[in-house]
Amino acid sequence: MCRANLRPLFLPVVPESSSPHHHNHQHRHHRPEETTRPTIAKRIYDFLGAVAATSCMNFCACSFIIGNRREALEAWSRVYYYGVVGTFGMFLFFLFGGKHLTRGLQAKRIRKAEKWQEETTKGIKVSSLKGKQEPDSYVVAPLDVVAAKVDKKLL
């Protein structure tokens, strides 16, 4: 649930018009280009995800190490049953509106990126962009087109 609903909020936004699958509205968040550097928010998300996964695994595994149900319940009570509370807390969050909230935030980010892309590429002919952009680039920078024209005139 976290991977499908929270993770896209920390990845670069792919405007639908520049997406290779823009005709498929179900997949509005795509895998970013491999060369894209992760943002600080994405690195924090990855770190917290690793900490949460390790903590949950430790919580579950301690009962197998202890081997006794009474002592395992005692150990879990000493850490306030964080594994159970965290797991059911996430389920309840996504069950009661969290999924719609995160999907709405992602849709808002996509609309903002599309609006920005439309504003930055306004007045540029698509034919003048052929060969000027990198494969799978998310936003076409109009400065590349201008720089190419200046280079052509100078050289």
pLDDT tens, position by position, 96-106 = 999 999 999 99
Residues in the chain predicted with pLDDT less than 50, given as ranges, are 19, 21-30, 34, 136-138
pLDDT value of residue 24: 46
- What confidence score (pLDDT) does residue 102 get? 92
Q: How far apart are CA 93 and CA 102, in angstroms?
A: 11
Provide the residue type at 39 as one letter: T
Please give the Cα distance from 100 to 82 (Å, whole number). Answer: 25
Measured distance CA(106)–CA(59) in Å, rounded: 32
Distance CA 4, CA 8 (A): 7
| Alpha carbons 80 and 141: distance in angstroms, whole number | 52
- Judged on CB neighbours under 10 Å (0-12, 13-18, 19+), 135 is exposed
**Confidence (pLDDT) at 71:** 92
Q: What is the mean pLDDT of the chain?
A: 77
